[in-house]
Amino acid sequence: MAHTGYIVLTYKFSRVDRRWTAYCEELGTATFGRSLPEAEKKLAEAVKLHLDTLKSVGERERFFKEQNIQVHEVKPKKEITIRLTPRQDVFIHPHVQEVPTFALA
C-alpha cells in the first residue's frame, strides 16, 4: 500500500564571497544564491527535482537504501537551525522532506 513518508536531509550553507552555497549532504545536490533565503529556496527546488527524477526512473528505493536514507511514516518534529561555531558563515539545517506515494515495508 502506498503512503506519504518523510525523510530528513541535511542542508549545509556557507558564504563564499558575496554568495551563499547550498548543499544537500545525502543527495549531493548543490546550488547557490545571492542571499541565504534564496539559496535555501533554490536548494529545496533542486532536491524536489532530484527526488522526483529518482522516482520517475524507478531508482528512489535503491538510492535511499545505498545512502542509508530512512523513510519515516510520521513527520519528524519541527525543523531547527544550528549555527556552527566559531564560523558565523556556515549553517547546518536539518530539513524534513515529504516523499509521496512511497511503498513502506
Give the CATH number for residue 81: 3.30.160
Report the 3 state secondary structure along 58-73. CCHHHHHHHCCCCCEC
Predicted model pTM: 0.81
Q: Kindly state the average pLDDT of the residues 35-60.
A: 95
At residue 100, the pLDDT reads 79
| pLDDT 10s digits, 53-105 | 999 999 999 999 999 998 988 888 765 555 554 566 777 777 888 887 655 44
CA nearest to 7, candidates 74, 71, 51, 100: 71
State residue 59's pLDDT score.
Answer: 95
Task: pLDDT band for 16, please (50, 70, 90 cuts).
Answer: confident
In the chain, the number of structural domains is 1
Domain that includes residue 50, residue range: 2-103
Q: Does pLDDT of 2 surpass 70? A: no
